[in-house]
Structure 1
Amino acid sequence: MSRQQREALDALLRSLPRSETPPTVEEQRSGFAAGVGRPAPEGVAVRGTVLGGRPALELEPAGVTGRGRLLYLHGGGYVIGSPDTHAGLVGELARRAGILATSVAYRLAPEHPFPAALDDGLAAYRELLEAGTDPRDLVVGGDSAGGGLILATLLAAREAGLPLPAAAVVFSPWADLTLSGASIRSKEEADPIFVEADLRDYADLYVGAGDRAQQLVSPLFADLAGLPPLLVQVGANEVLLDDAVRLAARAGAADVEVTLEIGAGLPHVFQHHYGRLDEADAALDRVARFFATHLEAAPVSTR
């Protein structure tokens, strides 16, 4: 059944229309919201809030009583996406992990180019700590550009002398905005969503003429030493495959505890398709266990 699900998903993604003329940013945002957005799962309460000076969604599964909180940064090439488009994915992850999640609406390019998104990610993380969240009770996550942004936020927090969280997960992270990974080209036929030009356009809007190799833009090139345990999940059928593979290798070389999972025949951020793709459900279950392991491993907070 899983093979049939993968093939059906690939066909569905390839059937989505591509405009002959480049869509406007607003058209991209509305199209993404319509095509990707899923509501929070049943039993997950959703509340609007503010974190780090930015609007955010708080997603709380029914019956949550234990330790643990998730800070999530959504994907969308730094240009599209929002906590609303990711309420389903983040809510489902929070439900399976049994923890409270907060998804932040960081500022988007081109209206707000780098470093606005990073400033917002760091401000959200800092406010959680200042509000009394023990970093040992905190996990972080993100997908695609949000995965790269989570990594950059951790690097910025480390440089600011802030304590780091118990663990981090990234789905199909966009960690190299120089687009130097071989899979950017070698996986273009296999990827049902992106071609190289799509990523280049997003990078142009986010970074402009800035240095795309600097570590807070492309955390792949950073010294990753000291980062928390990291789980990287990626599909084999995506142009960003090598971002994930190289990230895991560099993290391991920096003595970071890292797990890399490559899903055969799977597209970019396949976890969005939980409930209709067996591999997505299994992947989110593994993330939940990963969070539980590292939250349980931390000493109980005395705060």
Structure 2
Amino acid sequence: MASEVQVETSPVGPVVRPPGGTELVVLYLHGDRHLSCTPEAALDLASRLALWTDAVVVCARYGGTFPDALDDVHAAYDHCESRGPVAVAGERLGAGLAAALLVRLRDLGAPPPLCGVLNSALLDLTLDSPSLLLNAAADPTFDVPELRRRCAHYAAGTSPTDPLLSPLHANLHGLPPVQLLAAGTDPLLDDSLGFATRAARSGVTVDLRIRPDAPSLHPETVTAMGDFIRAWTPAARTAHPA
């Protein structure tokens, strides 16, 4: 697959470019359960997503504390938006930042992305959802006290109910279409369920997909994300040089 795409550098992070392709840009925000952002770790997924969507995928770098991380993501969005229509996607903390970006852009009256995709999203840093304890108890590798410590460090003194830190607590009216992917065994499951419910009640188009567990979710993640993004993409146009 590496021979089918080109990986380039950019001011905001690695860029994966498929052969040919369209003007569409996907801003991808990687995140893991340790709240670390290592965009290079997302290059395999980004390569598969680029090939599935014929889009350039930008794997943005962002800082380790709020609100600098959101500022970095906003700067990456501006970088992408100047090059073509943009979809935003993310995983874990990256998905939370993607949701926060949608809220911030709406509040600023700025052009929104075509859609957003949130995979196993961390959307509520109060960390008081039932699934966090119930599902973490079934996963000996998931360390809830460590997650709380990392979230406190990331918040950097910001209230955990701040709508840009925890988008689950934001006003969700007027957001673009959103897809949420999660496993039924995910400790963060309730974040996705709560966000989907509140977004749908606010008139947002929502595609919620819950699979029984991670092994059943992972094989279809790229195709589900890609199909949703393509469904909300205008007629493809041949890419112009960035």
TM over 0.5: yes
Look up the equivalent residue of 1:93 and give its one-letter code. L
- Corresponding residue of 1:219: 167
- Corresponding residue of 1:282: 220
Look up the equivalent residue of 1:58 and give its one-letter code. V
Q: Which of 59, 66, 73 in structure 1 is aligned with 2:16?
A: 59
Residue 79 of structure 1 deviates from its aligned partner by: 4.4
Q: Which of 25, 41, 54 in structure 2 is aligned with 1:69?
A: 25
Q: Which of 128, 134, 137 in structure 1 is aligned with 2:80?
A: 128
- Corresponding residue of 2:240: none
Any idea what the Cα deviations from partners look like across 1:82-115, whole Å, max 9, x if unmatched? 111111122221222221110111112xxxx211
Instruction: Check 1:150–1:78 CA distance in 2 against 1; reply closer, same or farther (3 A cut).
Output: farther
- Corresponding residue of 1:43: 4
Checking the alignment, whether the CA contact within 8 Å between 1:67 and 1:295 is kept in structure 2 is no
Any idea what the Cα deviations from partners look like across 1:137-181, whole Å, max 9, x if unmatched? 211100000000011111111122211011110110000000121
Q: Which of 278, 292, 297 in structure 1 is aligned with 2:230?
A: 292
Instruction: Check 1:298–1:158 CA distance in 2 against 1; reply closer, same or farther (3 A cut).
Output: farther
Structure 2 residue 52 is the aligned partner of structure 1 residue 81: no
Checking the alignment, whether the CA contact within 8 Å between 1:64 and 1:99 is kept in structure 2 is no
Give every structure 1 segment of 4 or more consecutive aligned residues whose post-TM-superposition deviation is greater than 6 Å. none
Checking the alignment, whether the CA contact within 8 Å between 1:144 and 1:173 is kept in structure 2 is yes
Q: Secondary structure at the match of 1:95?
A: helix
Give me the whole-angstrom Cα distance separating, in 1, the residues matched to 2:235 and 2:140. 39
Of 285-294 and 243-252, more deviation after overlay is shown by: 285-294
Identity rate, percent: 30
Instruction: Check 1:258–1:297 CA distance in 2 against 1; reply closer, same or farther (3 A cut).
Output: farther
Q: Secondary structure at the match of 1:155?
A: helix
With structure 2 as the length reference, what TM-score do the two structures score?
0.91
The answer to which structure, 1 or 2, has the higher relative contact order (CA under 8 A, 6+ apart) is 2
Give me the whole-angstrom Cα distance separating, in 2, the residues matched to 1:249 and 1:278. 23
Give me the whole-angstrom Cα distance separating, in 1, the residues matched to 2:126 and 2:205. 26
Structure 2 residue 119 is the aligned partner of structure 1 residue 119: no
Instruction: Check 1:73–1:127 CA distance in 2 against 1; reply closer, same or farther (3 A cut).
Output: same
Task: Please tell me whether Structure 1 or Structure 2 has the larger radius of gyration of its CA atoms.
Answer: 1
With structure 1 as the length reference, what TM-score do the two structures score?
0.73
Any idea what the Cα deviations from partners look like across 1:26-54, whole Å, max 9, x if unmatched? xxxxxxxxxxxxxx744121111103xxx
Q: Which of 188, 191, 199 in structure 1 is aligned with 2:139?
A: 191
Residue 265 of structure 1 deviates from its aligned partner by: 2.2
Look up the equivalent residue of 1:88 and give its one-letter code. D
CA RMSD in angstroms comes to: 2.2
- Corresponding residue of 2:47: 91
Look up the equivalent residue of 1:65 and give its one-letter code. G
Give me the whole-angstrom Cα distance separating, in 1, the residues matched to 2:4 and 2:157. 45
Q: Secondary structure at the match of 1:142?
A: strand
Q: Which runs of 5+ in 1 are unaligned?
A: 1-39, 267-276
Q: Which runs of 5+ in 2 are unaligned?
A: 238-242
Give me the whole-angstrom Cα distance separating, in 2, the residues matched to 1:42 and 1:70. 20
Look up the equivalent residue of 1:127 and give its one-letter code. H
